[in-house]
């Protein structure tokens, strides 16, 4: 049977694409090699930071805004809360590039910006150790998104709108058909023919589009949580402790308030983990040395947290050389959604929607030139 569209990979971006196509009435099949909302890719771990004002620039502010609109639609139809805008504070010295870039992107898109000096930071956020030279930027359009729930809710909505989902089946190969369209070869020996195909393979992208595999680097990342000291639990709840990004010496830490019994989630932005050759072999368990940096950061910044990482778990981040996403239609006709990197979840609903628009030749209504999948070509040849 020939379908109008196939989405390969039902993680963050793929779930978004599946729902975006199904809600437009397109006959679409989604294929996922593991279970839906599994913990072996890049989208597990109970929470992801959602930033309205993205330091990466206005293109990402626009993506986040569109994601939020899409998730709000999904929340309304499913009766769940996917994104909680608890606010977010960026703390760094006045000379910080991160502060400057974040503020510039927010002002350019007319997001409300509150700038604090060290005294105000100490008053508002006593949980953080603040130095006299620190400055803070408050972004009300920031918060937390629940990744597993966002994925399952989008897939359930897509199925309700007519999408077909195959879980536990791997795509081995995509063949371009002479007469147009593609044949998808599955690991159980089956084949599916389709007019359009969207690849949203996360860390496996290079295997699905081998002609671009050298553009993607997959790195180890770890998830970890920290418990408040006894009696200090309420200080780290969302109403008193917003999402944070904190530049500290040579590292940038980020974190989310306690939203469940796992505690405060903290990670380090600058700790590029080792390269991973085979994403399927990425270890779930975490070695003690992998946690030393984040535990030291926690001990330096938070008097109220026990600086011992809890519930550590392996994850993966996929990056391009310039760290921008790769989104576009390839010469083969395949639509590529390589959202990638350490900040892709908040954009994934919009990225999925872009994939759907590209697949059915609808105006993306956003400038995608920054994400051109062939932008590395001249330096490769």
Ligand X SMILES: Cc1cc2nc3c(=O)[nH]c(=O)nc-3n(C[C@H](O)[C@H](O)[C@H](O)COP(=O)(O)OP(=O)(O)OC[C@H]3O[C@@H](n4cnc5c(N)ncnc54)[C@H](O)[C@@H]3O)c2cc1C
Q: Which residues bind to ligand X, rule: CB under 6 A?
A: 8-14, 31-34, 41-43, 48-49, 170-171, 200-204, 208, 221, 223, 267, 315-317, 339-346, 348
Q: Minimum Å distance from CB 381 to ligand X?
A: 27
Q: Minimum Å distance from CB 117 to ligand X?
A: 27
Q: Which is nearer to ligand X, 52 or 228 (CB)?
A: 52
Q: Minimum Å distance from CB 97 to ligand X?
A: 20
Tell me the two tokens of residue 269: 């932005």
Render the burial of 169-199: b for 16+ CB within 10 Å, e for the rest.
Answer: ebbeebeeeeeebbebebeeeeebebbbbbb
Q: Minimum Å distance from CB 373 to ligand X?
A: 14
Q: What is the DSSP string of 252-321?
A: EEEEE---STT-EEEEESS----B-S-GGG--SS--GGGGHHHHHHHHHHBTTB--S-EEEEEEEEEE-T
Q: Minimum Å distance from CB 351 to ligand X?
A: 8
Q: Which is nearer to ligand X, 121 or 340 (CB)?
A: 340
C-alpha torsion sign, points 105, 106, 107, 108 = positive
Tell me the two tokens of residue 159: 């199925």
What are phi and psi for residue 45, nearest 5 degrees?
120, 25
Q: Which is nearer to ligand X, 133 or 270 (CB)?
A: 270
Tell me the three state secondary structure of residue 121: helix
The residue whose Cβ lies closest to ligand X is 11
Q: Minimum Å distance from CB 343 to ligand X?
A: 5
Q: Which is nearer to ligand X, 130 or 221 (CB)?
A: 221
Q: Which is nearer to ligand X, 129 or 173 (CB)?
A: 173
Q: Is 108 left (phi over 0), alpha (psi -120 to 50) or beta?
A: alpha
Q: Which is nearer to ligand X, 135 or 166 (CB)?
A: 166
**Is 374:41 a contact under the CB 8 Å cutoff?**
no
């Amino acid at each position: 049977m020939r379908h109008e569209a196939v989405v390969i990979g039902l993680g963050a971006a793929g779930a978004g694409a599946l729902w975006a196509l199904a809600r437009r009435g397109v006959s679409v099949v989604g294929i996922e090699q593991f279970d839906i909302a599994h913990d072996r890719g890049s989208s597990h771990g109970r929470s992801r930071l959602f930033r309205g004002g993205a330091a990466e620039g206005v293109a990402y502010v626009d993506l986040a805004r569109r994601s939020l609109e899409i998730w709000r639609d999904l929340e309304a139809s499913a009766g769940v809360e996917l994104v909680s805008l608890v606010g977010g504070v960026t703390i760094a010295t006045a000379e910080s590039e991160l502060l400057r870039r974040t503020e510039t992107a927010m002002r350019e898109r007319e997001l409300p910006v509150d700038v604090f000096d060290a005294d105000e930071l100490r008053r508002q956020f006593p949980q953080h150790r603040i130095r006299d030279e620190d400055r803070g930027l408050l972004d009300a359009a920031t918060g937390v998104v629940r990744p597993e729930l966002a994925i399952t809710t989008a897939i359930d909505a897509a199925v309700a709108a007519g999408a077909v989902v195959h879980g536990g089946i791997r795509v081995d190969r995509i063949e371009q058909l002479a007469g147009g369209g593609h044949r998808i070869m599955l690991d159980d020996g089956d084949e599916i023919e389709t007019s359009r195909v969207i690849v949203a393979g996360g860390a496996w992208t290079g295997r699905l589009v081998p002609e671009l595999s050298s553009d993607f680097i997959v790195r180890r990342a770890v998830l970890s949580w920290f418990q408040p000291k006894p009696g200090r639990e309420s200080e780290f709840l969302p109403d008193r402790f917003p999402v944070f990004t904190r530049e500290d010496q040579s590292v940038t830490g980020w974190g989310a308030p306690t939203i469940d019994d796992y505690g405060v989630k903290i990670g380090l932005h600058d700790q590029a983990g080792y390269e991973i050759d085979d994403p399927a072999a990425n270890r779930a368990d975490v070695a003690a040395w992998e946690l030393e940096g984040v535990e030291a950061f926690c001990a330096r910044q938070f008097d109220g947290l026990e600086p011992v990482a809890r519930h550590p778990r392996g994850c993966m981040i996929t990056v391009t050389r310039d760290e921008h996403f790769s989104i576009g239609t390839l010469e083969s006709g395949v639509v590529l959604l390589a959202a990638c990197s350490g900040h892709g979840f908040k954009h994934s609903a919009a990225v999925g929607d872009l994939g759907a628009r590209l697949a059915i030749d609808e105006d993306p209504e956003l400038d995608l030139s920054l994400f051109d999948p062939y932008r590395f070509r001249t330096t490769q040849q």
